[in-house]
Amino acid sequence: MAKSVPDHIVIGAGFTGLVHAFLSLEKGESVLVLEKKDRAGGLIRSVPTEYGIVETAANGILNCWELETLSSRLGLDLLFPDADAKKRYIFSDKKFKRLPLSVFEIIRFIFSALTVPSKPIPGESIYKWGKRVVGESFLSKVVEPALGGIYAGDLDAMSAEFVLGKFLAEDVPLWKNFRSYANSRKGKPKLHPGRKGTVSFRGGLGSILGALEARVSSQGKIKYKQEIISLKDIRKAYPNARITLATNLSFALKILKAEFKELKGYQGMLETLPIVSVTRFGKDSILSGKKGFGVLFPKDHKSFSSELGIRTRGILFNDFIFSGRTSDGIHSETYIMGGAGDREIASKAEEEIISIVEEDRKKLLPSGEIPLNHYVTVWKDALPVYGPQLFAFNRDLDRVLPPDIKVEGNFRSGIGLKSILERAFEQYGPKTS
């Protein structure tokens, strides 16, 4: 039962806010969550449709012991991907390739990984780091699509120190840094090899958000349609409560700069990127008989063009990844578009976005069948740019925030849900491990 004066106020009921609220309740604190919208979940929602489930944002989460712990405490079973969906492709030379490098390029990469010091230099972009450490071909054919797929960013604008720093802490070649990183995690509980990789839940990722929301509502309290505009007001109303701000980056900056003068200078400096996701239901697959997790399309780092003029950044094969995702005989592909280099797509009408998807698909599968349905989601400022300014902002947050105010979200240590979860578990200490 929630106490009338909460120990902990959480602002925002997305994945971040709900996880913090849940862990705080588990520690015996009383919690009040304040959410702007009339529903929880933030970016994530799993929408059931007549053809299958549509994920509005994340379609899976990288498994870790924290997720195993969380789901078992919520009474949820993890859903593991089908074995033949493990294959990830990169589109290169007009083909879906698992390894888009020539023998010479592989040898060149191995040589670099064994010899070139890999710690990012302060101020170095991912593009400059990649050219220096892994070489041009590995950078453009592997690093660009992989990071483009996760961060939807521009390698020139991304900070190598911020994105890669925690894996590459010493000025030694890649292989030594990876070995040290693996050693540094030795004390942590290990996952059974069969449970590693991307996972979800039977009803989609929305299931875990729904379970978190139900638990937080029953043991604490969630108030909906509460748009918080000032931390001062919250502190006045609840002077003894600690506060976790768990909104998106734009709002977090807006509210923080009004309170902490050291953060004012970041106004206009912290960019976010729009993302468009289109789930397309049909009967055929662009893989024509093969199965797989998804395909990424490398972009030229300056012009953002890719082979055949494909505008999509990546495609996920939903029903190949998780069984039970679609009705019988239906195939589901999610096209991820936008990000750096294609911000414009987020301002287009839905029909225009759908025709761009169909044009891309025709280039990949000219004989493709007609679609059954599309479900378009546009996020105007979903993803933060992991640039040097955001890196500095994070360091300033650690420096200026008093101990009773925490700021959390996908702009703190990684965009993915796994980073958000690991960071939250670290804060709530051994009782939750």
Of 298 and 414, nearer to ligand FAD (C-beta) is 414
- Measured from the CB atom, the residue of 142 and 378 that comes closer to ligand FAD is 378
Decide if residue 228 touches ligand FAD (CB under 6 A): yes
Question: Any contact of residue 59 with ligand FAD (CB under 6 A)?
Answer: yes
Which amino acid makes up residue 370? I
286 touches ligand FAD (CB under 6 A): no
Rounded to whole angstroms, how far apart are CA atoms 222 and 213? Answer: 8
Angstrom distance (rounded) from CA 115 to CA 40:
49
Pick 116 or 150: Cβ nearer ligand FAD: 150
DSSP character for 50?
A: S
Kindly state whether residue 378 participates in binding ligand FAD, applying the rule CB under 6 A: no
Residue 62, both tokens: 């990288």
Q: Give the residue, chosen from 277, 312, 332, 389, that forms a contact with ligand FAD under the rule CB under 6 A.
A: 277
The reply on whether position 251 binds ligand FAD by CB under 6 A is: yes
Minimum distance of ligand FAD from residue 248's CB (angstroms) = 4
Query: Minimal distance in Å, beta carbon 233 to ligand FAD?
Result: 11
Q: How far apart are CA 195 and CA 236, in angstroms?
A: 46
Query: Using CB under 6 A, which of the segments 41-49, 182-190, 262-270, 353-361 binds ligand FAD?
Result: 41-49
Q: How many CB atoms lie within 10 A of CB 400?
A: 14
Residue among 26, 29, 37, 203 that touches ligand FAD (CB under 6 A): 37
Q: Which of 12, 38, 22, 418 is nearest to 243 (CA)?
A: 12
Relative to beta strand 242-245, strand 46-48 is unpaired
Tell which one of 35, 213, 271, 422 touches ligand FAD (CB under 6 A): 35
β-strand partners of 279:
334, 375
Of 131-150, binders to ligand FAD (CB under 6 A) are none
Nearest-5° angle of CA 19, CA 23, CA 29? 125
CA-to-CA distance for 50 and 327, rounded, in angstroms? Answer: 8
Instruction: Give the CB-side neighbour count of residue 375, counting CA atoms within 13 A.
Output: 19
Applying CB under 6 A, the span of 103-111, 171-179, 391-399, 416-424 interacting with ligand FAD comes to: 416-424
Rounded distance between C-alpha atoms, residue 363 and residue 372, angstroms: 19
Cβ 134 to ligand FAD, closest distance in Å?
Answer: 24
- State yes or no: residue 160 binds ligand FAD (CB under 6 A): no
Is the separation of the CB atoms in 388 and 159 below 8 Å? yes
Q: How far apart are CA 83 and CA 80, in angstroms?
A: 9
Q: Which residue has the tokens 């990469």?
A: 109
Helical (H) or strand (E) element with 296 = strand 294-296
CB of 206 to ligand FAD, least distance (A): 11
Interface stretch with ligand FAD, choices 28-36, 179-187, 296-304, 393-401 (CB under 6 A) = 28-36
Nearer to ligand FAD, 11 or 143 (CB): 11
- Position among 29, 36, 180, 327 found at the interface with ligand FAD (CB under 6 A): 36
The answer to the question of residue 315 lying near ligand FAD (CB under 6 A) is: no
Q: Would you count residue 233 as binding ligand FAD (CB under 6 A)?
A: no
CA angle 165, 59, 418 (to 5 degrees): 35
Which residues in this chain contact ligand FAD in the complex, by CB under 6 A? Answer: 11-17, 34-37, 42-44, 57-61, 226-228, 246-248, 251, 275, 277, 336, 379, 382, 409-410, 415-418
